[in-house]
Structure formats: structure tokens, C-alpha cells
Amino acid sequence: MKIIFYGTRGSIPVSGQQYKEFGGNTACVCVEFDNGDIMIIDCGSGIRNLGNELIANKHEQYENIYIGMTHTHWDHIQGFPFFKPAYDSRRKFTFSPVLVHRHLRSLESVFAGQMQNEYFPIPMSKMGAQFYFPESKRTYMRMDNFEVFVNEHNHPGGALGIKIIADEKTFVFCTDVEHEDGIDQNVVEFCKGADLLVHDAQFTPEELKSKHGWGHSSYAQACDVATQANVNNLALFHHDPEHTDNMLLDMEGESQKLFPNTFCARDYQSFQL
């Protein structure tokens, strides 16, 4: 199982010389399994480049492409209209029922809504690919070559952590999470023993003091979760748009003092489990 980061930024895409190392695309991660199949997590602006690579590499998974959503804030859905494989009539995408958040009126309506003609020239119904939005809501599902678990955590409007187990390796994606009154032990339990934990780290500890209720974590909290959960590796994610490369390098260094196997995720970086 390989984890590939296509968007690691939070809130809004950014560009400029000061963002070259870590990148500026919003949340999108691709999980590539040993047989070549993929699962996509979140559809921020990074999904555009993922789609371009899939086409350039002639990726032949046309059915059972699963898209898992942590939640539907704009920085996690805004790239979908620019995802070229979704315009290929041969492809079938399933927005997995295990990842449909219970607070949503309809996941399909959220994606279609941002493509209404007030916002975008092409409606979702005219994209070409087939989209499935199963309505059942579960906390576990098993596919041919992987298992998926989800866990609800604290974020305005709600959000889900996603755990994928394949080939005896465990990957946990836990972004857009706010820990109140100490580290959330439900999150720790969900992350236990992960080979790679991707955790929200939008703020420094100092910034977090004035960000109560914003729905995010500090890098120190991410390291605390990693320590308590006894994970093997920690990737800091959802970088604040105001955090430049130099700031993130400093955060990475400070985090490694707290949890040595830590890195700040970078756009286009991959991690093999």
C-alpha cells in the first residue's frame, strides 16, 4: 500500500515562491494498493493533478474506484469539477457508503450543488462518468483487497477519520479534528498501532490558543496522539495557508523533538507501507 499526497494544504489553495517545497493544493490523498487499484480520499484542489496523472499513465481501473470523504467543507470538494477521469464515460466512481456523514442531507447534492450553473459551466450530470452515492451509513466495510473503518470526531459540522487496512498494514487519515479538554481518547483508540498516521496540524501551539472552535489541531497535539496511539510514523497535514515553507520546516523540526518519526506532508510526496 502506497500513500500519495496530492494536496496537503487547508482552507484555500496557495501559490508563490514561499510555498514551493510543501505545495499549495488542498486536501487530496491517493491510496494505491499492491494490485494497482486506488482509493481516493477527499477532493480538494489536489485531485486535479491526480486525475491528470491517471490519464497520462493510462490507469485502467475503470470500475470500483472509491472516493472517501472526511467531510464536505469547500477545501475538501473544490477540485472535483476539474478531475478529468470523472469526464470519462467508461469510469464508475463510488462515494462509499461507509464515508457518508450522517449530518449530510445528501452527499450527491453537495457535489452537484457546487456545479450548478451559478458556479460552474458543466453540471455534474453531464460529466460523463457514472457516480454512485449509496445511502446506507456504516462504520465498516470490506472490499476485495482492503478494509475501511471510520470514526467521527470533533469538527464544525462533523468530520470522519478514515482507517484503511490492507496487506497487514494500517493507514489512518485523521484531519480536520479539534481536541477539546485534552486529547480525544476516541481518536487515540482509532489510531492505535497505525503504520502511518496522517493528522491535522494546522496550527502551532501558540496559534491554537486563539483558534478555539475552528476545528483544527496543533502539531504538538498531533505528536501527542501519535505517542499515545503508538503509531510508527506521523505525517502532519492540513497546513495553514499562511504557513510558508520556512515556517513548516520549523514546525517539522519542533515536531521531531516530540515524535521523531514525523514529517510535514508535501504535495506529490509518497509513502510506502
Task: Tell me the pairing of strands 38-41 and 28-32.
Answer: antiparallel
Question: What gap in Å lies between CA 245 and CA 15, rounded to an integer?
Answer: 11
Domain ranges of the chain: 2-272
**Cell numbers at residue 31, please?**
491510496
Lowest mean pLDDT among 42-56, 131-145, 201-215: 131-145
- Mean pLDDT, residues 208-212 taken together: 96
pLDDT at 102: 64
How far, in Å, are 72, 82, 101, 133, 173 from residue 160 at the CA level? Answer: 10, 24, 7, 17, 9
- Average model confidence (pLDDT) across the chain: 95
pLDDT at 145: 84
Question: What gap in Å lies between CA 63 and CA 131, rounded to an integer?
Answer: 10
pTM here?
0.96
Question: What gap in Å lies between CA 123 and CA 58, rounded to an integer?
Answer: 26
Question: What gap in Å lies between CA 15 and CA 240, rounded to an integer?
Answer: 13
What confidence tens digit (pLDDT) does each residue in 48-88 have?
A: 999 999 999 999 999 889 999 999 999 999 999 999 999 99
pLDDT at 140: 86
What CATH superfamily is the domain 2-272? Ribonuclease Z/Hydroxyacylglutathione hydrolase-like (3.60.15.10)
